[in-house]
Amino acid sequence: MSEVTLGVSNTTPLLSGWYDPALVDPRGLRTTEIKGVWRWWARAVIGGSLYDECMLVGESEGGIVRRPSRDEASLINCLVGKILGLGYAGSEGSESSRFTLTVEATMLPRVERIGGIARGYQRLMLLALGRRNRNINYILPGAKFRVIVRRTRREYDDAENLALKILVLALQLTGLGKGARRGLGSLDIMSLQSVGVSIPRGLRELVDDVYESTLEIVRRYVNKCRGHVIGSCKKRALPPLPVMSKSSYEGSDVASIYIVQGPGGARVFQDVHNFFVRTTRCRVLPCGAGYEDLLRRERHAWILGLPRSQKGTGYMSFVDRRASPIMVSYHSERNVFGPGVFMTFTMSGDWPRELRWVGAERRTISLDEQRIVEATRAAFQEFSDYVRALGYSLVRVWP
């Protein structure tokens, strides 16, 4: 029997989904949102090991620079769903999750209108645009919950224990609900009890443990997935989806984790959260006329996520959405894995081949792997300069 019980509390405004987009679920945490984040990270860590083992190469076709092939997508789906036990649906039938997840509120959430707090958080301001006459709600920081995950069936002990570790890692490196990638809905893990699985209590140790365990799982069980991919590393390309890999591409890390540290706790988080607004960056960094920072001058700001447009200007694409490759979470001193603003950077080829930029002029921007690398480097350089200009430190955690 493997079981993990977490005592958690939100450190930032939480906007959990509800039947009305302007409202939040009064229960606070939703199991569906936790499961979604859990599965995303499971795909990322499985994909990272497949990429490092040359079994995730991707293909370049259609309107996307690089995407997983059908066989690669099927392989990831099998390893995550059947082997880790998170639930499977595919050509070989279906299988329910081997875990149950329950959430109990131990300190009831307090719900308020966004109101004046929106001025401190760029993502909240965006949510409030065009809804000035509606009650846009959020859950105040400080609500407390108990999250209990139990394995209900046993098939692959080592893989199922890895799945539980991935869940803990996911809750450290991203938030929940709307604005999760910008750190909204971040959860401190204030207590961690586990039965049948040993979970490291340091972030670096946890990431290393998850990475090494995933390599072992992939090597051990890949043959159980029909049509598994035998790839080649002769000509390394960008991974076709965000992955947690130790590899590099043209001298840049495919994935990396940092902590931003500085006095002020929540204030540090607000500064990092608002980095994604050009006017805010230019209040901190030297910019040219018209708020021309590095990302604007080089037309690289699309790397912060799509769509990136407002009032008919900005970056346009045929894709409805391409999430930012930079993820933020914030933890206080109460967190088992330590305090700070946690930053995860990933680099992958799943971007549209063509963008339209509309501003004072109209321009078509063609994307390829080289341009993705250049934009990623520019974003990281600008973020590093921004953090240091504010007097904070950027500490590398992994790899």
Average pLDDT for runs of 10 along the chain of length 399: 92 87 82 95 97 91 90 93 90 86 90 70 66 68 95 94 97 93 94 92 95 96 77 80 94 95 88 89 83 84 77 70 91 95 96 83 87 95 94 95
Whole-number pLDDT of residue 231:
65
Whole-number pLDDT of residue 385:
94
Alpha-helical segments (H) within the chain = 31-52, 70-78, 122-128, 157-173, 203-221, 266-273, 278-284, 294-297, 369-389
- Alpha-carbon dihedral angle through residues 266, 102, 29, 109, given to the nearest 10 degrees: -80
Instruction: Quote the DSSP letter at residue 80.
Output: I
Between the alpha carbon of residue 359 and those of residues 193, 295, 315, 371, 374, the distances in Å are 53, 14, 9, 20, 22
Angle subtended at Cα 18 by Cα 41 and Cα 321, rounded to the nearest 5 degrees: 50
Whole-number pLDDT of residue 133:
40
What is the rounded radius of gyration, in angstroms, for the C-alpha atoms of the chain?
21
Q: Cα 112 to chain center, whole Å? A: 26
Is the CB of residue 200 less than 8 Å from the CB of residue 189?
A: no
Instruction: Quote the DSSP letter at residue 79.
Output: I
Distance from C-alpha of 79 to C-alpha of 47, rounded to nearest angstrom: 10
The set of residues, in sequence order, having a beta carbon less than 8 Å from that of 108 and lying 6+ positions away, is: 28, 143
The partner residues of 316 in beta bridges, in order of sequence, read: 356
Between the alpha carbon of residue 205 and those of residues 158, 161, 208, the distances in Å are 18, 16, 5
Q: What are phi and psi of 129, to 5 degrees?
A: -60, 135
Tell me: cis bond preceding 286? Omega within 30 of 0 counts: no
Counting the structural domains of the chain, the total is 1
Whole-number pLDDT of residue 321:
78
3-state secondary structure at position 292: strand
The set of residues, in sequence order, having a beta carbon less than 8 Å from that of 360 and lying 6+ positions away, is: none
Task: Specify the amino acid at residue 183.
Answer: G
Distance from C-alpha of 197 to C-alpha of 165, rounded to nearest angstrom: 8
Whole-number pLDDT of residue 137:
83
Question: What domain range is 70 assigned to?
Answer: 3-398
By CB atoms closer than 10 A (0-12, 13-18, 19+), residue 208 is middle
The partner residues of 248 in beta bridges, in order of sequence, read: 253
Whole-number pLDDT of residue 19:
80
Tell me: cis bond preceding 26? Omega within 30 of 0 counts: no
The partner residues of 94 in beta bridges, in order of sequence, read: 89
Is the CB of residue 31 less than 8 Å from the CB of residue 145?
A: no
Whole-number pLDDT of residue 176:
95
Whole-number pLDDT of residue 66:
94
Q: HSE-up of 346 (CA within 13 Å, CB side)?
A: 24
Whole-number pLDDT of residue 23:
79
The set of residues, in sequence order, having a beta carbon less than 8 Å from that of 306 and lying 6+ positions away, is: 315, 317, 319, 321, 322, 352, 355
Distance from C-alpha of 114 to C-alpha of 172, rounded to nearest angstrom: 25
The set of residues, in sequence order, having a beta carbon less than 8 Å from that of 379 and lying 6+ positions away, is: 295, 300, 303, 304, 326
**Helices 70-78/31-52 angle, 10° precision:** 120
Q: How many residues does the chain have?
A: 399
